[in-house]
Structure 1
Amino acid sequence: MFKRLFFLLRITIAWGLAVMLVVGLYSSLPLIGRLEFPAVLFTFFTMGLVIAGAFSHLHRVRLVAGRVDNETLDNRQKRIIEIPLEAGEAFDVVEAAVRELPGVGDVRAARDSLQVRAKIARPHLYGEPPLRRWNPLLWFAPDHNLLQATVTPAGDSGRVTLICEPESPAWSDWFLVDDGTNFENAEAIARAITRRIGDRRRREQASAAQTATEKELTEARLHLLHAQVEPHFLYNTLASAQLLTRSDPARAEAMLGHLIQYLRRSLPSAEDDMSTLGIELERALAYLEILKIRMGDRLAVQVDVPQALLATPLPAMMLQTLVENAIKHGLEPRTGGGTVWLRARRDDDGKVAVTVADDGEGFNTQTSGTGIGLKNVRERLRLRYAGEASLAVIANFPSGVAATITVPPQLPTRGDRHD
């Protein structure tokens, strides 16, 4: 109540002094200055419109803001808004919010200085005022409100200073009211910024959830392929061992021994995605020994892996995939078979390069396959090493293909990976 009375008293005194000045000047005029009736009528009429307009302003401010205090009654509004974005991104959010305001025009944005200025048409809240020409509160009222937003960098965030005011000098506040329009503009900007930040956060969360889902689907697809490959190989091996038990029991026994070694190294991979180069090499050699029994002299194997590199972490079944590719697409299509080389070296950057090479058909379009196996290898390397590992597939000389996996000597910690 006190704030309302103070506001009414302030604007009444200001207009009262202005009216007294006008009446004093009128009274000093010769002849017509003696007529008191026009002066009295002017005084009552002007002061009545001023007080009525002041009450209208009070009621509209309460309607818009829900309260009446010095902040809501003021024609000039200031807001400090913290935006949890880098200053440039915060500026983009503020500029977009300003351009959304109804009646906005003449928007001037300076990205280098992080400032936005605009004019906003002052609305006719109750239609075109019927007494506009005679209403003293509208004599000097501007047609536009001004808006200025300045973004101040504050570390990883931006602080917005927002000023909404009439397009008139500050002294006019003693005689004019804005009917809460600048309070509405300031609140609208704050709401628009909050909404845009909320939309941005929801998009980021949705993107993160989609990435996590895609990662889970990729891993599930890899596990499914793994589960499909092993039974196929197991079936073929057991079928071959069954035939050999009749014609060559010794070779059948050797094949089953290699199969046991292969399964011993394969079964733990269902629970642990990571293995070591030594374990994967044992699995690959057991697989190749089984194939040597089936292919006979058509398959030769050469291994050159230093003992010091056997402890290198390596994703399970990855070396096996390259070996299977070399056999299926390189050597099996050739009548005379060929050789598979397994090599490992430490490069100049300290990483370990593991190569599976063959002297088979090479990049033959009829035997190159679909590329799903190599695609899965690359995807697993990306998920596991976050760009620190790679797969290179090149032509071998004089024939065949060489596939090289390059991995760090130690597995990155979970905090360093993009899980």
Structure 2
Amino acid sequence: MTSFFFIFRIALAWATVATVLAITAAETLLSDRDCGGSLLLLVLGVTGFAAVTAFSHVRRVRLLTGEVDRATLDSRQRRQIEVPFEAGETFDIIDAAIRELPGAGQVDSARDSLQVRARIGAVPPYSGGAAWLFTGHASPGGNQIIAIVTPNGDAGSVTLICEPERGAWTDWFLVDAGGNLENADAIGRAVARRVAERRRGEQVAAAQTATEKELTVAKLSLLHAQVEPHFLYNTLASAQLLTRSDPARADAMLGNLISYLRNCLPRTDDALSTLGQELERARAYLDILVIRMGPRLRLQVDVATQLHGALVPAMMLQTLVENAIKHGLEPKPGGGTVWIIARVHEGALALTVADDGRGFCAEGGGTGIGLRNVRERLRLAYGGGAGLTIVSNYPCGVAATISLPYSDAGAAAAQERCHG
């Protein structure tokens, strides 16, 4: 029924105009009063031609969409497209989609006002045929597209208008053979494709990041599987010797070892801990080494109590302390001091482990695997919001500093959980 009324409307409009022109011509221009039959045939021919053209339009719209209604038959198409990206990204997507349309000519885009206007050549779907005189495709004019992006929080809403470059009143007489319907659908498909591509890219990046994180955790697990047993065997061997010569020191060493393992074993390498827990682990480790190294090892801790609840990655402080001992103080005949210092500045926690050992030297400098793993873990956990710096310590030794995001509220909540 919709198709019938559409064809009837177009035919009636042309019949009315043709009748008015025929009557005017008969009364003012023609002297032969017997030409009424010829004029009637002309009116009927124009009406029939218009009806056939409208019928062709209906059939083509049905071919494009599979259904026919007032919205699809209209030569002027309006769409509302929601894009799950912010307005700037939405504008880039819609601008690119319009530029890639077949027949796209002049495209004027204004990023500041989030608006795109374009002229699209009206390409007849079928070549030749005088019927296109009634579709507007034979005229030099074409179609135009107007796209306006409206910010909607973290998303963008696009108002899309596809219409012929002629007055709206001409829609009573002319059709576009579904040209603007094609343009509107093509832009919608292009936007959907680009959004899907962006989502796939995000999924691939997330999967790659997850894979990198898994590999890093695997490397860290392998590293600790090699380092921790070595430390454990040395400690047990030292305790065994002390049981014969100094049982009290052996007992203290084993107590510190139990404390160290209690803080160390239950956690995974990529878990978040608190600075207080990491200090307990480091103290237990250093207390063991104090028994082994004697007065050659000294410890100074400068960490405010309110910072004990700060969230830090597990085992990072331990890695820096182990590096300071293994590469700085243990090879030095006179030993030295390890400093653990924590400060907060402009929303960042700076955790420093310094020593006055041998410093940067070619002998026994290590492979750097531990520090590379620290940097990789910081990158995966915080992106560019965290980092590790290593500098010379005056007058000798090395100072390594981890910088992390810090929140008073987060530190307080972590402290409450620890005490709870």
Normalising by the smaller structure, the TM-score range is 0.7 to 0.9
Q: What is residue 16 of structure 1 aligned with on the other side?
A: 15
| Distance (whole Å) between structure 1 residues aligned to residue 101 and residue 186 of structure 2 | 7
Q: 1:306 to 1:136 in 2, by over 3 A?
A: closer
SS of 1:124's equivalent in the other structure is: coil
Opposite residue 265 of structure 2, the aligned amino acid is: A
Structure 1: runs of 5+ lacking an equivalent? none
1:369 has 2:366 as partner = yes
Instruction: Give deviations 1:8-55, integer Å, cap 9, x for gaps.
Output: 222122111221233234323255675456534433432222121121
Amino acid at match of 1:105: G
> What amino acid sits opposite 1:331 in the alignment?
L
CA distance in 2, matches of 1:185, 1:155: 28
**Shift in Å at residue 88 of structure 1?**
1.8
Among 336, 339, 347, the alignment partner of 2:336 is: 339
Aligned mate of 2:166, from 168, 184, 188: 168
Alpha-carbon shift at residue 378 of structure 1 (Å): 4.0
1:264 and 1:53 mapped to 2: Cα distance? Answer: 91
SS in 1 for 2:29: coil
- Partner residue in 2 for 1:262: 257
In the alignment, is the contact (CA less than 8 A) between 1:81 and 1:190 conserved in 2? Answer: yes
The structural deviation recorded for 1:324 is 2.4
Structure 1 CA distance for aligned equivalents of residues 95 and 367 of structure 2: 50
What amino acid maps onto 1:7 in structure 2?
A: F
The reply on whether 1:109 has 2:104 as its aligned counterpart is: no
* Per-residue deviation, residues 203-224 of structure 1 (Å, max 9, x unmatched): 2233333333333333333233
Cα distance, 1:123 vs structure 2: 2.1
Is the contact made by 1:385 and 1:412 (CA closer than 8 Å) also made in structure 2?
Answer: no
Higher deviation after alignment, 161-170 or 142-151: 142-151
State the alpha-carbon separation in 1 of the partners of residues 4 and 349 from structure 2. 83
Distance 1:352 1:201 in 2: 35
CA 401–139 in structure 1, closer or farther in 2 if over 3 Å, else same: closer
Gaps of 5+ in 2: 415-420
- Is the partner of 1:75 in helix, strand or coil? coil
Whether the 8 Å CA contact 1:46–1:136 is kept in 2: the answer is no
Cα distance in 1, alignment partners of residues 402 and 156 from structure 2: 45
**C-alpha spacing 1:288/1:411, structure 2 compared with 1 (3 Å):** farther
Q: Which aligned pairs between 1:33-112 and structure 2 lie closer than 5 A?
A: 34-36=34-36, 38-112=38-112
* Contact persistence 1:360–1:400 (CA under 8 A): yes
Matching residue's letter, 2:371: L
Structure 1 SS opposite 2:15 = helix
Contact 1:259 1:290 in 2 (8 A): no
Residue 394 (structure 2) aligned to one of 394, 397, 404: 397
* Number of residue equivalences: 405
> TM (normalized to structure 1)?
0.82
Q: Which residue pairs with 2:288 in the alignment?
A: 287
Q: Does the aligned pair in 1 maintain the 2:278–2:315 contact within 8 Å?
A: no
Query: Aligned partner of 2:253: which letter?
Result: H
Deviation at 1:105, TM superposition (A): 1.5
Deviates more, 1:151-160 or 1:46-55: 151-160
Q: Supply the distance in 1 between the matched residues of 2:250 and 2:34 (Cα, whole angstroms).
A: 131
Matching of residues 118-157 of structure 1 within 5 Å: 118-129=118-129, 131=130, 135-137=133-135, 141=139, 143-157=141-155
Q: Is 1:329 aligned with 2:327?
A: yes
CA contact (8 A) 1:117 1:146 kept: yes
Which amino acid is the alignment partner of residue 221 of structure 2? Answer: H
Could you list the per-position Cα deviations for residues 97-139 of structure 1 after superposition, in whole angstroms to 9, with x for gaps in the alignment? 111212211111111221111122222212222x369x55559
Larger mean CA deviation between 111-120 and 345-354 belongs to 345-354
Instruction: Give CA-to-partner distance per residue, 1:365-393, whole Å, 9 cap, x none.
Output: 34332322223334445666777766443
For the 8 Å contact 1:23–1:39, the answer to whether it is kept is: yes
306-315 or 191-200, larger mean C-alpha shift: 306-315
The structural deviation recorded for 1:312 is: 5.1
Instruction: Provide the residue aligned with 2:355 in structure 1.
Output: 358
The letter for the 2-side match of 1:207 is A
2:201 aligned with 1:203: yes
* CA drift at 1:352: 7.1
- In 1: Cα distance, 2:134 partner to 2:397 partner: 95
Contact 2:135 / 2:177 at 8 angstroms: preserved in 1?
Answer: no
Corresponding residue for residue 181 of structure 1: 179
Offset at 1:354?
A: 5.4
Residues 4 and 324 of structure 1, relative CA distance in 2, 3 Å threshold: closer
Show CA shifts across 1:266-298 (max 9, x none).
2542322536254224322233135416xxx7x
8 Å CA contact retained: 2:260, 2:285: no
Whether the 8 Å contact between 2:303 and 2:341 is mirrored in structure 1 is yes
Shift in CA distance, 260/226, structure 1 to aligned 2, threshold 3 Å: farther
Looking at structure 2, the residues matched to 409 and 100 of structure 1 have their Cα atoms a distance apart, in angstroms, of 48
> Aligned partners of 1:65 and 1:87: how far apart in 2?
30
Task: Give SS of 1:360's match.
Answer: coil
Determine the C-alpha separation between the residues in 2 that align with 1:77 and 1:289. Answer: 81
Mapped partners of 1:38, 1:409: distance in 2: 92
- The 8 Å contact of residues 340 and 356 in structure 1, kept in 2 or not, is answered as no
- Do 1:361 and 1:367's aligned partners in 2 also have CA atoms closer than 8 Å? no
Structure 1 residues 194-237: Cα deviation after superposition (integer angstroms, max 9, x where no partner) = 22222222322333333333333333332332221011223344
The 1-side partners of 2:318 and 2:136 are apart by 86
Find the counterpart in structure 1 of residue 417 from structure 2. none
TM-score by length of 2: 0.81
> What is the SS of the residue equivalent to 1:151?
strand
| Alignment partner, residue 418 of structure 2 | none
- The 1:61–1:381 alpha-carbon spacing in structure 2 relative to 1, beyond 3 Å, is closer
The percentage of counterpart residues that share the same residue type is 48
